[in-house]
């Protein structure tokens, strides 16, 4: 089920609906059949909530294959490369939204709703039939509001989304973890966002500490407290994740990948990758 391309495309909400203002809601079949979505893969700039009401589909998220069946809801991280495949008609809904859309009206007290979304590439939920019906009704109301967009619709959609995230957040699968965010969580989250934006050019914790107006020692301390690892390890893991994505999803050579990730020479990239994974980039690719 490996899909490879010449490069990873970056998908924005505007690519799906040109009139989008931070949220898109549509039937899943319409999304899967849209130009540029079916059987392709993208990195993305938005969160996704997917509800299947009939049929099933397979998706690949950062090398892991997931099967999504009838009456299942999943969330997909914004920092995730994924593709979808299905062989039979599938029905349901998909909600795509940016963090800025949701946060526009709310203060930082609601940031914990995003903790389960950001923690893993994919989250599943343990829901009763009544809860599934409630979520489906809520999503159908959102779709109706979205299709007949009028004055105040953005606020209405934020309120619906707020309720939906709360329902899902308290029913997250047992192997996931949801925690209230404190000031340190927010600072680490800001650090991780900066890493996502700058990891190809800036690999030293000092760059990020300066941007956050904190010391390197404090950055390391809160990363160890909240993520059980150092700030440097978080930066290196982000580089490795992108290297794996490019090796898995594209036809790019090891040399091309090394230069794309900001390595000045290929041997250093190979050494860096092997130190983290235990085998070379080419060996990693052959194993997939």
Of 157, 132, 127, 129, nearest to 142 (Cα)?
Answer: 157
Where does the pLDDT of residue 38 fall: very low under 50, low under 70, confident under 90, or very high at 90 and above? very low
Where does the pLDDT of residue 35 fall: very low under 50, low under 70, confident under 90, or very high at 90 and above? very low
Domain extents in the chain: 9-169, 183-287
Topology classification of domain 183-287: Arc Repressor Mutant, subunit A (1.10.10)
pLDDT digits (tens, 9 = 90+) for 58-111: 777 776 777 788 888 888 887 777 777 766 788 899 999 988 888 776 555 555
Mean pLDDT of the chain: 81
Cite the DSSP H helix spans in 115-265.
115-119, 129-147, 153-169, 183-198, 205-212, 216-227, 231-249, 254-260
pLDDT digits (tens, 9 = 90+) for 149-160: 888 888 899 999
Instruction: Give yes or no for residue 180 having a pLDDT over 70.
Output: no
Is residue 240 within 8 A of residue 263, CB to CB? The reply is no
Domain 9-169 and domain 183-287 have a common topology: no
Q: How far is residue 197 from each of residues 79, 242, 246, 253, measured CA to CA in Å?
A: 11, 12, 17, 23
Of 51, 42, 37, nearest to 78 (Cα)?
Answer: 42
For the 9-169 domain, the top CATH level (class) is mainly beta
| Per-residue confidence (pLDDT) for residue 175, from 0 to 100 | 47
CA distance 24 to 8: 22
CA distance 166 to 113: 7
CA distance 278 to 31: 39
């Amino acid at each position: 089920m490996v899909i490879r391309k010449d490069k990873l495309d970056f998908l924005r909400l505007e690519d799906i609906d040109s009139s989008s203002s931070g949220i898109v809601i549509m039937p899943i079949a319409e999304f899967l059949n849209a130009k540029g979505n079916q059987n392709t893969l993208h990195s993305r700039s938005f969160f996704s909530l997917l509800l299947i009401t009939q049929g099933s589909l397979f998706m690949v998220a950062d090398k892991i294959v997931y099967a999504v069946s009838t009456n299942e809801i999943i969330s997909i991280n914004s920092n995730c490369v994924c593709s979808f495949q299905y062989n039979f008609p599938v029905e349901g809904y998909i909600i795509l939204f940016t963090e800025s859309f949701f946060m526009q009206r709310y203060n930082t007290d609601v940031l914990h709703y995003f903790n389960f979304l950001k923690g893993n590439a994919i989250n599943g939920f343990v829901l009763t039939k009544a809860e599934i019906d409630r979520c489906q009704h809520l999503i159908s109301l959102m779709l109706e509001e979205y299709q007949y967009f009028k004055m105040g619709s953005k606020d209405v959609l934020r309120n619906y989304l707020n309720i939906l995230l709360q329902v899902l957040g308290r029913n997250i699968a047992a192997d996931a973890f949801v925690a209230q965010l404190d000031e340190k969580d927010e600072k680490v989250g800001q650090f991780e966002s900066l890493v996502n934006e700058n990891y190809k050019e800036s690999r030293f914790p000092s760059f990020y500490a300066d941007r956050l107006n904190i010391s390197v020692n404090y950055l390391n301390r809160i990363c160890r407290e909240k993520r059980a690892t150092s700030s440097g390890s978080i930066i290196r893991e982000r580089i490795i994740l992108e290297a794996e994505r490019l090796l898995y999803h594209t036809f790019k050579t090891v040399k091309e990948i090394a230069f794309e990730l900001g390595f000045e020479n290929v041997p250093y990239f190979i050494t860096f990758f092997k130190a983290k994974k235990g085998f070379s980039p080419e060996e990693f690719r052959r194993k997939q």
